[in-house]
């Protein structure tokens, strides 16, 4: 069985990825372009491609909300 991915682990990773992307897209929708570093479309693509894209958005892509 070495080398064969565990279906439960893959399912858990998929759930984490989809959840992270959903939260990222929701936050992007609620923010103006000025509140986001870079193009919102690029952040959407990055978060859809892999979970690191979502993590990068949360760590680097958001600006402080105005008042």
Question: What is the structure's pLDDT at 18?
Answer: 97
Q: Is the pLDDT of residue 5 over 90?
A: no
pLDDT tens digit string along 33-45?
Answer: 999 999 999 999 9
Alpha-carbon span 54 to 17, nearest angstrom:
8
Predicted TM-score (pTM) of the model is 0.83
Question: What is the structure's pLDDT at 67?
Answer: 47
Q: Residue 26: CB partners within 8 Å, gap ≥ 6?
A: none
């Amino acid at each position: 069985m070495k080398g064969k991915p565990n279906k439960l682990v893959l399912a858990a990773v998929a759930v984490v990825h989809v959840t992270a992307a959903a939260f990222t897209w929701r936050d992007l929708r609620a923010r103006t372009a000025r509140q986001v570093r870079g193009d919102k479309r690029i952040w959407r693509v990055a978060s859809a491609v892999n979970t690191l894209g979502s993590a990068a958005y949360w760590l680097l892509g958001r600006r402080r909300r105005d008042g």
